[in-house]
Structure 1
Amino acid sequence: MSSITTKRGKGIAIKPFLTLLKDTKPSYGLLAIAIGLSIISTLVGLIIPMFTKNLVDGFSLASISKLQIVGIVGAFIAQTIAAGVSIYLLNYAGQKMVAGLRDRLWRKFLVLPVAYYNENRTGESVSRMTNDTGIIKTLISEHLASLFTGVISIVGSISVLLYLNWKMTLVLFTVLPLSALILVPLGRQMYKISKGMQDETASFTATLSGVLSEIRLVKSSGAEDREYVAGKTGIMNLLSFGIREGKISAMISPLVSFVFMLLLVVIIGYGGMQVSAGVLTAGELVAFILYLIQIIMPLTQLTTFFTQMQKAKGASERIIETLAEAEEIYEGEEEASGTEGPITVEDLSFGYKNGENVLSNVSFRMHPGEVTAIVGPSGGGKTTLFSLLERFYEPQMGMIRLGEKPVAAFSLRSWRNLIGYVSQESPLLAGTIAENLSYGLEREISSDEMRSAAAMAYADGFINELPDGYNTDVGERGVKLSGGQRQRIAIARALLRNPRILMLDEATSSLDSQSEAVVQKALSNLMVGRTTIVIAHRLATVVNADQIIFMEKGQITGTGTHAELLQTHELYKEFATQQLQLNTPEILAGSEEEVAVADDKNTGSGRRSAHSRIGGSLSEG
Structure 2
Amino acid sequence: MTDMQPKWKQLLQLIRATHPPKLIFSIALFLSLLTTVAGLAIPLLASRLIDNFDLNDLNTTVISGIGIAFFVQAVAGGVSVYFLAKVGQHIIASLREQLWRKLLVLPVSYYDAHETGDAVSRMTNDTGVIKNLITEHFTGFITGIISVVGAIIILFYLDWPLTLVMFSIIPLALLFLIPIGKKMANISRNLQKETAGFSAHLTRVISEVRLVKASNAEDREWRKGQSGIKRLYALGLREGVIQALMSPLVSSLIIVVLVLIIGYGGVRVTSGAMTPGELAAFFIYLFQIIMPITQIVVFSTQFQKTVGATEKVLSILSLDGEDFQDGSEVNSLDHSLVIQKVSFGYQPEAPILEDVSFTAKKGEVTAIVGPSGSGKTTMFSLIEQFYSPTSGDIRYGEEPISTYNLKSWRTIIGYVSQESPLYAGTIKDNLTYGLDGDIPIEKIHAAAEMAYADTFIQSLTDGYETEVGERGIKLSGGQRQRIAIARALLRDPEILMLDEATSSLDSQSEIVVQQALKNLMKGRTTLVIAHRLSTIVDADQIIFLDKGKVTGIGTHDELFQQHTLYRDFARQQLKTDV
For residue 61 of structure 1, report the CA deviation from its aligned partner.
5.8
Match of residue 603 from structure 1 = 577
Report the counterpart of residue 227 of structure 1 in structure 2.
221
Give CA deviations for 1:53-100 in whole Å, capped at 9, x if unaligned. 212223436545656544432221121111111222222221111111
Q: Which amino acid aligns with 1:327?
A: G
Q: 2:378 aligns with which of 374, 384, 396?
A: 384
Map of 1:457 onto structure 2: 451
- Cα distance in 2 between the residues matched to 1:370 and 1:346: 18
CA distance in 1, matches of 2:384, 2:170: 64
Moved more, 151-160 or 104-113: 151-160
Unmatched segments (≥5 aa) in structure 2: none
Q: Tell me which residue corresponds to 1:307.
A: 301
Shift of 1:198: 2.1
Q: Which residue of 1 aligns with 2:93?
A: 99
Q: Secondary structure at the match of 2:352?
A: strand
Which residue matches 1:430?
A: 424
Matched residues in 2 for 1:466 and 1:335: separation? 41
Counterpart in 2 of 1:609? none
Pairing 1:441-520 to 2, within 5 Å after superposition? 441-520=435-514
Closer, same or farther: CA 193–511 of 1 in aligned 2, 3 Å: farther
Aligned to 1:397: 391
Corresponding residue of 1:148? 142
Taking every aligned residue pair, what percent have the same amino acid on both sides? 55
Match of 2:553 in 1: 559
CA contact (8 A) 1:463 1:469 kept: yes
Higher mean alpha-carbon deviation, 333-342 vs 148-157, is at 333-342
1:339 positional shift: 4.5
Following TM superposition, by how much is the alpha carbon of 1:253 offset from its aligned partner in structure 2, in angstroms?
Answer: 3.2
**Does residue 123 of the first structure (1) align with residue 121 of the second (2)?**
no
* 1:459 positional shift: 1.0
Q: Does 1:215 align with 2:209?
A: yes
The worse-fitting range, judged by mean Cα deviation, of 430-439 and 175-184 is 175-184
Structural mapping, 1:105-504, within 5 Å: 105-353=99-347, 355-504=349-498
Counterpart residue number, 2:538? 544
1-structure distance, mates of 2:541, 2:3: 49
Matched, 1:568 2:562: yes
Contact 1:12 1:313 in 2 (8 A): no
Report the Cα offset of residue 251 of structure 1.
Answer: 2.9
- Partner letter of residue 306 of structure 1? S
State the AA in 2 paired with 1:396: T
The separation in 1 between residues aligned to 2:347 and 2:32, in whole angstroms, is 52
Equivalent residue for 2:32? 38
Code of the residue aligned with 1:545 in structure 2: it is: A
SS in 2 for 1:84: helix
Say whether the 8 Å CA contact 1:457–1:525 is kept in structure 2: no
Larger displacement relative to structure 2 (353-362 or 22-31):
353-362
Secondary structure, aligned partner of 2:267: helix
What letter is aligned with 2:577? T
Distance 1:516 1:244, change over 3 A: farther
Letter in 1 for 2:393: M
Distance across 2 between alignment mates of 1:259 and 1:122: 48
Inter-partner Cα distance in structure 2 for 1:542 and 1:98 = 53
Could you say which residue in structure 2 is the equivalent of 1:4? Answer: 2
8 Å CA contact retained: 2:184, 2:301: yes
Residue identity opposite 1:603 in structure 2: D
Instruction: Identify if the C-alpha distance between structure 1 residues 193 and 442 changes in structure 2 by more than 3 Å, giving closer, same or farther.
Output: same
Does 2:82 match 1:51? no
Q: Distance in 1 between matches of 2:10 and 2:72?
A: 37
Q: Write the distance in 2 (CA, Å) between the matches of 1:561 and 1:415.
A: 29
SS in 2 for 1:165: helix
**Aligned 8 A contact 1:337 1:414 in 2:** no
Whether 1:14 and 2:12 are equivalent positions in the alignment is no
- The answer as to whether partners of 1:195 and 1:315 remain within 8 angstroms in 2 is no
Distance verdict in 2 for CA 1:455–1:158, change over 3 Å = same
Structure 1 unmatched runs, 5+:
582-601, 605-621
Aligned-residue offset at 1:333: 2.9
Aligned-pair CA distance for 1:221:
1.6
> 2:145 corresponds to which letter in structure 1?
V
Q: Describe the SS at the equivalent of 1:4.
A: coil
Q: Is the CA contact 1:358–1:553 (under 8 Å) kept in the aligned structure 2?
A: yes
Amino acid at match of 1:430: A
* Aligned CA-pair RMSD: 1.8
1:43 and 1:519 map into 2 onto residues whose CA distance is: 78
Separation in structure 1 between the aligned mates of residue 304 and residue 312 of structure 2, nearest angstrom: 13
Q: Is the 8 Å Cα contact of residues 333 and 494 (structure 2) preserved in structure 1?
A: no
One-letter amino acid matched to 1:176: I
Q: Which segment drifts farther, 241-250 or 396-405?
A: 241-250
TM-score by length of 2: 0.96
Q: 8 Å contact 2:48–2:62 — kept in the other structure?
A: no
Contact 1:168 1:267 in 2 (8 A): yes
CA distance in 1, matches of 2:525, 2:246: 69
Residue among 60, 67, 74 paired with 1:73 = 67
Asked if the contact 1:484–1:516 (Cα under 8 Å) also holds between the matched residues in 2, the reply is no
Give the match's secondary structure for 1:373. Answer: strand
- Could you say if the C-alpha distance between residues 237 and 512 of structure 1 is closer, same or farther in structure 2, counting changes exceeding 3 Å? farther
| Residue-by-residue CA offset, 1:18-54 (whole Å, 9 max, x unaligned) | 1111111111111221222121111111111112221
Residue type of the alignment partner of 1:413? K
Contact residue 337 and residue 418 of structure 1 kept, 8 A: no
Aligned 8 A contact 1:187 1:310 in 2: no
Does structure 1 retain, via aligned residues, the 8 Å contact 2:485–2:501? no
Alignment coverage as a number of residue pairs? 578
Question: How many angstroms apart in 2 are the aligned matches of 1:466 and 1:516?
Answer: 21
Q: In 2, are the aligned partners of 1:371 and 1:547 still within 8 Å (CA)?
A: yes
Q: Which residue type is aligned with residue 234 of structure 2?
A: S
